[in-house]
A and B are shown apart, each in its own frame.
Chain A
Amino acid sequence: MTTNTTKNSGNPGGTGNNGGTAKTPAALPTSTLPIPPHIARIAVYAGSAAALIGTFLAWTWTTAFPGDLTVTGYPGGLQIITLVGAALTLLFALSGHGIRGLGWLTPGGTNSPVVLLSLGVLGSTGYTMGAIAEHLGGIVNLEPGAWISGIGALIATIGALGLPSDLPADEPHHNPWERLRASLKAPAPKRAKTLPDWVEILIIAASFGIGLYVFAYGIEAYSELFIGFLITTVFGATALNRAGLIPRLNALTAKHRNVTLTAAIIAAAMFPFTQSDASYALIGVNILIFATVALGLNVVVGLAGLLDLGYVAFLGVGAYTAALVSGSPASTFDVKFPFWAAVLTGAAASLVFGIVIGAPTLRLRGDYLAIVTLGFGEIFRITMNNLNGSAGPDLTNGAQGIPNIPDLEIFGWNLGIEHEVLGFTLSRPANYYLLMLFFTAVVVLVFRRSGESRIGRAWVAIREDETAATAMGINGFRVKLIAFALGATLAGFAGTVQAHVSYSITPEQYLFANTVPPNSAFLLAAVILGGMGTISGPLIGAALLYLIPAKLQFLEDYQLLLFGLALILLMRFRPEGLVANKRAQLEYHETDQLDVPDQQKLPEGTVGASKAGA
């Protein structure tokens, strides 16, 4: 095996294999496959172009396969996925080549994004071809367009694997797998030039716009399209990370935090206006409920480090309270509170339960707390089941739950019927989506403000070392109880909306583990998968954990198995979660680099009022 060496990626003619530089053993860029770099680069261009052109041709002869892939002239369905992937591969390859005006695409690695993107294109195209063959019975159903794209993607991938790695290897890897892993590593981007504020804000806004579009696309996708979408998104997001674009964006959002928050809320508020179909808006509102509860759990788990395995019970307390005072004919109480009062009642009920459960159990540490909260989650469900008039007093209708929860009416705006706003039709779920978004924003604000304060620091200190924290004057029990009660209250808030969205509530909605989120296991998974202690982490985690089971229903019984497998893999390769807290990143990946912040904050720090003014 020879290793290809080039001085840098911008020098495709450099075939100095046997030159003087190759003699020195240290710090050589290696490639996975022994192809001369210039040929590899040509292969990437040719392959990606072929994959791109192929999407404009027919891939199959019949419209029986979901999404119309029969048309020659414009792409449809899964072809669009391949098209986007191939276009991105081409773009990043050109940027890596040093084409003027594209350099901003790759401030970090140049060749590793190309490898990842071409793998993504190969994966999604290969999946499409396989799905067509499987769906229609045999590869005979594939039209030439599919072959052009598929073979193009294969050539591009082989070419990409021939590109030199971004980081020179310390020692030569003889194993191809090791060399592949080395070629996926990329250097961190250098500090970005400071742009004018309005440009940076524009970049943030544009990024959220793109994010919203991608998210809406995923929600609308049918199963087959969703798998292709997922493959491309996973590889694409990793590629953008390696290219250094995501770190750059993170630096920008950290600098303009309020702008980012506003942009995120506006982008999220636009979502129902992009949805004509009520069922997608319903997915949206369910994701929001799930995400909000996950964010509330993040206060308890991510900040204070208290493992709560029965958190969904607090959602249930809020939902049951709201249902009982909603004026539902099935409710034991013949009262109809206005919505604001119902919300406050639900939150207060959750708060009381949080304190009642927390006060005795928070004196326990670690595993014991987890066991007690797990028990509490089950006790809640079983109690709701038993308060049916025969096993206990009649309060909750037992297993039938409380049906016919009336729709809300806020300021004369009936959320149960369609509304025309600015020419857009807002369906019932879309109305609730907007209402829930308000609650999510409140929870985000609560999380952020409480996290960055005396109390938030006390939570983190307790999580880090409880003995030392108490020696610093922190009343551990009190501070933990505040975290627990706050988490419970936030879940209660979400519960009051959930009761109205889902028309009826039953005890079976609040299980520990279930295939349908939210349940305690999925909530915890959303927090851990997304990234503990962050705001965006649980939101992204919740969206993924809701969408994947909802879109891949054909997996049915294997769903939980695959879910477990995915969690294990994630914990192995990215234990800090998808969105890394700066702390966690350093905690899990031992690096000798110092965590020097991106911007020099020294002058601000000496004044000493930097964070308080935010």
Chain B
Amino acid sequence: MTTMTTTTTTTVLEASGVTMRFGGLTAVRSVDLTVNSGEIVGLIGPNGAGKTTFFNCLTGLYVPTEGKVSYKGTVLPAKPHLVTDAGIARTFQNIRLFANMTVLENVLVGRHTRTKEGLWSALLRGPGFKKAEAASHARAMELLEFIGLAHKADHLSRNLPYGEQRKLEIARALASEPGLLLLDEPTAGMNPQETRAAEELVFAIRDQGIAVLVIEHDMRFIFNLCDRVAVLVQGEKLVEGTSETVQADERVVAAYLGTPFEGAPGAAEVAEVEAAEAEAEAAAAPDDAPSDTPGATGTGNSGTSTTGSEGKSL
């Protein structure tokens, strides 16, 4: 386990000038990103902005055309299993569990890099093997308890409901004892309650001293959760900063909603519509924290993000 404390922030992940080209298409263009220990960093952007491609560059699934990625000061090799070994674990946008293995076995597979028993020790079954297996089981059950799936340890993972499959994927990633966890759309397809539970889970993971980098389309989720947010548009990092900075940035809004066209409703009309909306929302959900409205355009992002799908549909 990493024993980084939040008092002294150290850089966990440092990506500098990462560029990924597929033939003539540049999916990611010289993106710099750092993640510090004890931090939750969000990565947002419209569909096709290159977020997942960037993730794949970080985890070694793709070899970046240019640039380098280093973890705690050492440059990462471009092999996924070595990246995991170094201490970066990830989940996938479309769930990729080992469907026909049990829940417990899935987590045990995640322990692969932290155990060293090879074929010989498996065949000979010495005391070291038994001890390591027992320790792995104990750790895996601990993690299942942490995400609340211990009672389903013997179920096949394919039989779990969707939300629990997402959680199990996180547990499997945590089993590799990472210093940095990459979450690719962890709340896709979840209802608001499940999303809130996922938020709690991410905070709990952060509290264990694991830095988190998360891709998400649900703006409320991102802005609740993240200490910093980076916006990726057409493969380039547009802006990076706190929730407020990002929400206030006109280019971000333009990337999601497009630039105002000729004859678009003026600021006055927009403000009017928003006031009405805010009123309606305040009436509907009085317990929600009122989002600060730095500008008329900024609220377009956060004000109505109850479904989490607006980024996609626009």
Contact = CB atoms under 8 A, between A and B. Distances in A.
Given A468-B97, A473-B84, A453 B105 contact: no
Contacts, number: 146
Contact of B122 (A456, A606, A608): A456
B81 A605 contact: no
Interface in A361-413: none
Given A453-B133, A608-B134, A472 B84 contact: yes
Contact of B98 (A465, A482, A597, A613): A465
Q: How large is the interface on A (under 10, 10 to 19, 20 to 34, 35 or more residues)?
A: 35 or more
Nearest to A465: B96
Looking at chain B's contact residues, the main secondary structure is helix
Contact of B137 (A465, A595, A611): A611
B172 interface: yes
Nearest to A609: B134
A258 interface: no
B141 A482 contact: no
Interface string B118-150: 110111010001111110111011000000001
B101 interface: yes
Contacts of B111: 454
A464 B130 CA distance: 26
Interface in B62-116: 79-81, 84-85, 89-90, 92, 96-101, 104-105, 108-113, 115
Given A457-B108, A472-B172, A605 B153 contact: yes
Interface string A455-491: 1111011001101111111111000001000100000
Interface stretch (B11-19, B154-162, B186-194): B154-162
Given A455-B122, A605-B141, A612-B134, A470 B156 contact: no
Contacts of B172: 472
B59 interface: yes
A605 B150 CA distance: 9
A471 B90 contact: yes
A81 B11 CA distance: 78
A474 B159 contact: no
B176 interface: yes
Contact of B112 (A473, A584, A596, A610): A473
B205 to A, nearest CB: 17
B137 A454 contact: no
Given A449-B125, A453-B117, A474-B109, A468 B133 contact: no
A475 B85 CA distance: 10
B61 interface: yes
Contacts of A486: 119
B186 to A, nearest CB: 15
Contacts of B153: 605
Interface in A190-245: none
Given A468-B92, A471-B61, A609 B137 contact: yes
A454 B98 contact: no
A471 B113 CA distance: 11
Interface string A521-562: 000000000000000000000000000000000000000000
Interface string A319-335: 00000000000000000
A476 B140 CA distance: 22
Contact of A594 (B79, B105, B112, B159): B159
A583 interface: yes
A348 to B, nearest CB: 15
Contacts of B89: 471-472
Looking at chain A's contact residues, the main secondary structure is helix
Given A450-B123, A473-B113, A464 B84 contact: no
B116 to A, nearest CB: 8
Which of A452, A467, A475 has the most B CB atoms < 10 Å from its CB?
A: A475
B133 A464 contact: no
Contacts of B150: 605-606
Contact of A587 (B100, B119, B140, B155): B100
A586 B154 CA distance: 13
A472 B107 CA distance: 10
A583 B81 contact: no
A611 B105 CA distance: 11
A586 B102 CA distance: 12
B122 A454 contact: yes
Given A595-B155, A601-B154, A458 B109 contact: yes
A444 to B, nearest CB: 12
B108 A470 contact: no
Given A454-B132, A609-B138, 12 more contacts: A454-B108, A458-B109, A464-B98, A469-B109, A470-B61, A471-B92, A594-B155, A595-B156, A597-B154, A605-B104, A610-B137, A612-B131
Interface of A: 445-446, 449-450, 452-458, 460-461, 464-465, 467-476, 482, 486, 583-584, 586-587, 594-597, 601-602, 605-606, 608-613
